[in-house]
Amino acid sequence: MILVAEIIIFSRKIVRRLLMIILGNLFASKGKNFIFNPYDKFSYQNISVGSDVFIGQGANFSSSESEILIGSKVMFGPNVTIITGDHNTSVIGEYMFDVKKKLSENDLPVIIEDDVWVGTGAIILKGVRIGSGSIIAAGALILKDVPKNSIVGGVPAKILRNRFNENQLREHKELLKSRVR
């Protein structure tokens, strides 16, 4: 009985790995060491991903007309949502359900720079740029750009503090540069 369970678990891991390879090639581009759950929801053709990126389980990255650009060294906790579009709600005399025409401002890209950590259940909406070195708290609703090296949280999200002070940031960058050489 234990052997059967081990075979089933092993088979699931193989299927998951194969799906990750096959579906990974559907992304607009992807770097090395990119880990994601192939059973989650992605608008593959509009998503570009850098190297060393981990996307936690339960992700929903939806982009019908705009891009989602993800840098390198980025981590997403479980159940993160990124949506690059919304609906035209300004048509007079029509129910919102019936409006088909979108405006250019209804679809805007989301850009996540390098070295970002997005916490569990965060929601990132259209037109947002998250600066490098930033941390997004669990459950945050991101409606505006996040400056580099910021820690943000809340609904809607606001800056809680800087990740590093100026001296720490300088030292951090120097140490990272020395690792690359």
Residues 6+ apart with CB under 8 A from 24: 30, 34, 36
Tokens of 145: 């750009």
Pairwise CA distance, residues 129 & 146, whole Å: 6
Maximal CA-CA distance, the chain: 65
Cα atoms found within 13 Å of the Cα of residue 114, Cβ hemisphere only:
7
Asked about 172 being catalytic, the answer comes back as no
Which residue has 């007079």 as its token pair?
92
Going by the DSSP 8-state scheme, the letter that residue 138 receives in this structure is T
CA distances from 50 to 35, 46, 75, 145 (A): 11, 14, 11, 20
Options 87, 158, 161, 170, the catalytic residue: 87
Tokens of 15: 């299927």
Tokens of 12: 């699931």
In the beta sheet, which residues pair with residue 74?
Answer: 53
Residues with active-site annotation: 87
